[in-house]
Structure 1
């Protein structure tokens, strides 16, 4: 048995803890288990302040996600609009190049080609098909303009469907040949040009005016 006053520090602390409250002879293990149960109970109880903070985080996440989806949808709409504008301009460019090629093939009779308002309505007189029969220069000019007008309006079997309400004019000034087209775009509306002013005056309708002009110098007089 240890001598009085020679006890180890751990034993003295244990004895002191048992003598701290006289009469409370319960084990320290039971006391520790009580504290553990109290801690578990406290953890299970939700703090209203913490719960509200979690809901705010969820709402912010939903808001940010919604804004991202709206931005993605807007970018898709803008990309579709830009692709449509590019397609219309590409078709207009091809049509202008085609008319210049027709004029070069009938270069000696460029004076028969100036015209305004092509694409608004079909030609009143159907010219002969110069691909099947021999045509005079005047008949060839009428045939070229009729075929080109059919491409503008996109009539079946007569070339690409030039969507966008295309209007066109051909102007010849000496050797300078100008082919101009106008159509209705999908972007911001632009002011309408003055009437009967080739190339700008071929208005396809109110607002959203788009236009293209292609000029070249022809051969011969």
Structure 2
């Protein structure tokens, strides 16, 4: 994923490598340094064979060695802008990862009924496929369409669990719904849910910057119009 998301750097690496006939360039070395910061010492060492890792070498030599490995790896992924003899094949453009995005479902956070009399009984899926709502989920900077919203029911006490609230029957026969303060997702419209990051951004804009709901809606007009979202104050 690091290589796929850094096509501009791979273009620079390919151009410098073609000009200087180098397999490992300063651009690839910078990428290795970024990977080394992200990984632990043990994980970074796993990039090398046992013989390479045990050899006493300065850090710069390990960086160069790892750069060559990433350069060859990029070629095996068809992420090379130049051929092995330095001839330009094509400029690499940003690569969309939409096709490999995970499938998201909105489900209850609890895995068993917490009611004492139920003894942590497992929950059953309440809704059949044709009854399941398909909604739009705003998760950070991503917009997921047709996300199923599932509910769980305890077969012992018949309590109903959703991602943002729980419903149960009291002893007097009345039904009570409790909304969860620690909910991962929040329903904000008829068919729109948001995660905590998006909801926090809306609240911060309202209270910290005194931004009105109309102003927030106007700033995100292209997206919000397409989703028909009206943000609650």
Question: Structure 1 length as normaliser, TM-score?
Answer: 0.18
Q: Higher relative contact order at CA 8 Å, sep ≥6: structure 1 or structure 2?
A: 1
Question: Structure 2 length as normaliser, TM-score?
Answer: 0.17
Q: More helix by proportion, 1 or 2? A: 1
